Structure 1
């Protein structure tokens, strides 16, 4: 990829604007619930999401098998058809395994692959770059690189992203780096599509040129998240800011109150009677007081 020209028209987002980091529904017995996944996927798309990320962090990828991952991609692809993009999480701590998952996702019908930095082994910068290049070379899918050092222990440095942007299949970044300056630096020097991976940064990153978001909170308020971005696109910056502020209590309750977003999203979806089911160990379900607080924050946002 080349550096964007200041006179060139903006590039179309490769995977859409409002992406949901979709949970993976399970049955009460803990099995993969493909019917529930299809119903939830259809609901999210009908309510404003033009992209779905499956088998990601919120989708409990560490505890689903390779076979389950491929089955989920196929089911969601079938449910949404051409109405939304389907990006499949394929990241692992093993380059060879990640390549295998990328090839499976491609065969199952994914439009792109979400690839997280290898975790636990904490590879140096050169090894991180080589890891992503190996996956981009092996698969025909465009890649969204996932920068979340709080979970992986390793940063994708801005300089690394700038070099990787030269690869034709490295097209996007899901940014959970909490490095706003670093994100702007990469956006100013490449045409990588940035997606806010932290819900509190959706509008802030969009306002400086991001392509959109990959939102956990969109599991329960997809219309509201889409409306924030739509307002900004329409020139209603005050309305967009108001929408972001209105969502803040729910964002805090779901992502910054001590529990993983998977747990809080599933607690709310279950309470609302939507496809979800239990989380898989080692995660544990939210307790009743937590669920009550989540419902209160959701109700305050949903109230007319």
Structure 2
């Protein structure tokens, strides 16, 4: 079920409007569970997402191999690629490797690429320009930049984003920087489509001009976010605020108790969508205490009975 939107709003959102940064299911023994991934992808689209990000950080991309990323992407495209946009996370801190992953994703049927700022090696802005342009030149797919300096150690500067927006295939930004002034400047001076990349910023960025969300909490609240988008589109900020505030416990449960992928998998287990909550080291599964708190928070948010 795609979110309700006007044709004008939808046309500004090149990769969908409500996208979940999908977790990667594993068996109890830690192997990739492709049947579970297909069931999860189907569930997410059935419950309000019109896009999925596969092999993002929430998908535990640091601990999956290139071959696993390829198999996972192919499985998700097969399951829902005719009903939703499937975006492949292909960014690394090695430009050549990111190009290889991007080419692989295009061959696997991805509809777009999510490319994170190179992490740990802290390239200068000219290095970021070269990195992102090289990746965008390597395939025919649209690229969403992922600006998350809290994880990568490097922000994409406002002027750099504006320059990157001149590339015909760099079309969007997943914004997890928390710089509203910078976001506003980029929106004013480029055609880049902005997506909120931090659930606590969803309403603020939508009100500023973002066209959608790339969300972890949307594992359990995609319909609610679709309704929030529709309210913002209609200029009904009172309704949008009410939805945002009702979801505060869900955000706290999934994004503040411990690492997001851990709690998203736990929530999906609680809801009966996943058979287990296995994660790969160095992540560890949610504890029984965390599960009990999660159940309370989801009920308070109105997401379970």
TM-score range, shorter chain: over 0.9
- The 1:236–1:68 alpha-carbon spacing in structure 2 relative to 1, beyond 3 Å, is same
| 1:47-81 CA-partner distances (Å, limit 9, x unpaired) | 11000001001100000000110111111111113
1:35-114 paired onto structure 2 within 5 Å? 35-114=35-114
| 1:174-210 CA-partner distances (Å, limit 9, x unpaired) | 0000111111111111110100000011111111211
In the alignment, what sits opposite 1:228? 228
Between the aligned partners of 2:251 and 2:277, the Cα distance in structure 1 is 21
Moved more, 274-283 or 81-90: 274-283
What SS does structure 1 have at the residue aligned with 2:267? helix
Between the aligned partners of 2:137 and 2:167, the Cα distance in structure 1 is 9
In the alignment, what sits opposite 2:261? 262
In the alignment, what sits opposite 1:148? 148
Between the aligned partners of 1:244 and 1:33, the Cα distance in structure 2 is 33
What SS does structure 2 have at the residue aligned with 1:16? coil
| TM-score, structure 1 as length reference | 0.94
In the alignment, what sits opposite 2:273? 274
Between the aligned partners of 1:10 and 1:77, the Cα distance in structure 2 is 21
1:1-304 paired onto structure 2 within 5 Å? 11-257=11-257, 259-275=258-274, 277-302=277-302
- The 1:247–1:9 alpha-carbon spacing in structure 2 relative to 1, beyond 3 Å, is closer
Contact 2:248 2:301 in 1 (8 A): no
Contact 2:218 2:225 in 1 (8 A): yes
Contact 2:254 2:264 in 1 (8 A): yes
Contact 2:266 2:286 in 1 (8 A): yes
Between the aligned partners of 1:137 and 1:84, the Cα distance in structure 2 is 24
Deviation, 1:273, is 1.8
Contact 2:38 2:79 in 1 (8 A): yes
Gaps (5+ residues) in structure 2? 1-7
Between the aligned partners of 2:180 and 2:49, the Cα distance in structure 1 is 25
Deviation, 1:272, is 2.0
Gaps (5+ residues) in structure 1? 1-7
Between the aligned partners of 1:297 and 1:267, the Cα distance in structure 2 is 13
Contact 2:9 2:233 in 1 (8 A): no
Deviation, 1:253, is 2.2
Deviation, 1:10, is 8.2
Between the aligned partners of 1:295 and 1:43, the Cα distance in structure 2 is 20
Between the aligned partners of 2:16 and 2:183, the Cα distance in structure 1 is 19
What SS does structure 2 have at the residue aligned with 1:154? coil
Deviation, 1:12, is 2.8
Aligned residues: 296
Between the aligned partners of 2:73 and 2:123, the Cα distance in structure 1 is 29
Contact 2:219 2:264 in 1 (8 A): yes
Between the aligned partners of 1:124 and 1:97, the Cα distance in structure 2 is 19
Between the aligned partners of 2:25 and 2:148, the Cα distance in structure 1 is 24
Between the aligned partners of 1:53 and 1:248, the Cα distance in structure 2 is 23
